[in-house]
Amino acid sequence: MTDTRTHLAHTSQLGPGALEEIRALLDGAFEGQFSDEDFEHGLGGMHALIHEGGELVGHGSVVQRRAVHRGRALRVGYVEAVAVRADHRRRGIGGVAMAALEEVIARAYVLGALSASRAGAALYEGRGWTVWGGPIGVLGPRGPERLPEEEGSTYLWVPPGGALPDPAGRLDFDWRDGDVL
């Protein structure tokens, strides 16, 4: 990586042009499979913006979510919208974005969480993220609902000095549009 610059900024600090640039990167990286709801999920928190030669080549964000586990509400830094432009992949840019987001998580949250695609799982596993071994749910509009399709693809990361929740208990995340059909 040459002339690579990492910038952390809150959504409130990003102007319309920056948000349009992020959305274009995400649309390209996910080949048109990144919905408006997916984009919305990545807003309201901290963004890691990776520029190379003045162009946005990588992005990731971390937003606050609450997760209920065994009657306790946990403050979770949920990683969203991690992408690297196709012509810049396999050069460490995803790792640079994740390092910046993990620093935010370590300073502000009890734990980190994310939902990984098969293609993205190796990046997270290589950084010490572990698959959540217990049931996953959401606190939906009709009450708590189990999300078995998220089981096996939800990863957790614990900041130094922290501990993973007991996988015998269900991890219920707060609801967002698109989580429950």
- Residue 118 resides in a domain: yes
- Residue 54 resides in a domain: yes
d(C-alpha 21, C-alpha 154), whole Å: 27
Structural domain span for residue 134? 4-174
pLDDT at 2: 63
Per-residue confidence band for 153, with pLDDT thresholds at 50, 70 and 90: very high
- Residue 14 resides in a domain: yes
Per-residue confidence band for 180, with pLDDT thresholds at 50, 70 and 90: low
- Residue 123 resides in a domain: yes
27, 28, 33, 36: CA torsion to nearest 10:
0
Determine contact, residues 170/72, Cβ cutoff 8 Å.
no
- Asked if pLDDT for residue 101 goes beyond 80, the answer is yes
- Residue 114 resides in a domain: yes
Number of domains in the chain: 1
Beta bridge partners of 9: 47
- Residue 59 resides in a domain: yes
If you average pLDDT over residues 100-123, what whole number do you get?
94
pLDDT at 3: 81
- Residue 181 resides in a domain: no
Q: Chain-wide mean pLDDT for the chain?
A: 93
Integer angstrom CA distances of residue 10 from 35, 122, 145? 21, 27, 31
Contacts 24+ apart (CB under 8 A), 14-23: 14/47, 18/49, 21/56, 22/47, 22/49, 22/56, 22/59, 22/81
Percentage, residues of the chain above pLDDT 70: 97
- Asked if pLDDT for residue 99 goes beyond 90, the answer is yes
- Residue 42 resides in a domain: yes
State the Cα angle at 154 between 84 and 126, rounded to 5°. 55
CATH number of the domain that residue 164 is part of = 3.40.630.30
- Asked if pLDDT for residue 9 goes beyond 70, the answer is yes
